[in-house]
Amino acid sequence: MELRTVGFDHPDAQTLTEQVQQEYVVRYGGIDRSPIDPREFDPPAGLFLVGYLDGRPVGCAGWRTPPYTLLRAGDAEVKRMYVAPDARGRGLARRMLAALEHAAAAAGKTRMVLETGLGQPEAITLYLSTGYTPIPSYGLHRDAPGNRCYARSLPTVTDPAPEQVGEAQR
């Protein structure tokens, strides 16, 4: 998989985020209405990646500086992590998550946080298997019974990225 840094408003990013929203409809009965400003993903305060297999966009993920007061200074928040159904089971989400963590740490962030839900058991398995631990709920869905939030401390970055992340046109 080739990872490219793109703007949140890039056509491939928009197509994939629309697909993840439809996944939320199937799993939760509605889209995620968490407020998002596309500029939140602009470096150095954030980053958005699209993953390509054979030139086809199959996954996306981003991090932003979270707008919530329930979190800590130095936090980076994962948003819109998604892999298309026909590309799942290949470790692509794990690679995107590692790239996000590295980029956030390189930007001086000290902890990665995220929210997900019981309707996404494979996501919860991924996060737990990569060292994330439960934290108190935050964000728009914090009072939803199935809401689950996780965090992981980020290491200080002094080495190059684990995977080359290319730049795409915005």
- Note whether 52 and 10 are within 8 A (CB): no
The residue written with tokens 């996954």 in the block is 59
Share of the chain above pLDDT 70, in %: 92
User: Given this model, what pLDDT does residue 125 score?
Assistant: 97
User: Given this model, what pLDDT does residue 165 score?
Assistant: 53
Mean pLDDT of 130-148: 93
The residue written with tokens 């089971």 in the block is 89
Residue length of the chain: 170
> Which tokens hold the place of 8?
């949140």
CA 75 to chain centre: 13
The residue written with tokens 């939320």 in the block is 24
Give the chain's domains with CATH numbers: 2-162 (3.40.630.30)
For residue 80, is it left (φ>0), alpha (ψ between -120 and 50) or beta?
left
Q: Is 79 helix (H, G, I), strand (E, B) or coil?
A: strand
- Note whether 40 and 46 are within 8 A (CB): yes
pLDDT tens digits, one per residue of 93-121: 999 999 999 999 999 999 999 999 999 99
Residues in CB range of 126: below 8 A, 6 or more apart: 93, 94, 97
Rounded to the nearest integer, the mean pLDDT of the chain is: 91
- Note whether 93 and 103 are within 8 A (CB): no
> Does the pTM exceed 0.85?
yes
Secondary element (H or E) of residue 47: strand 46-53
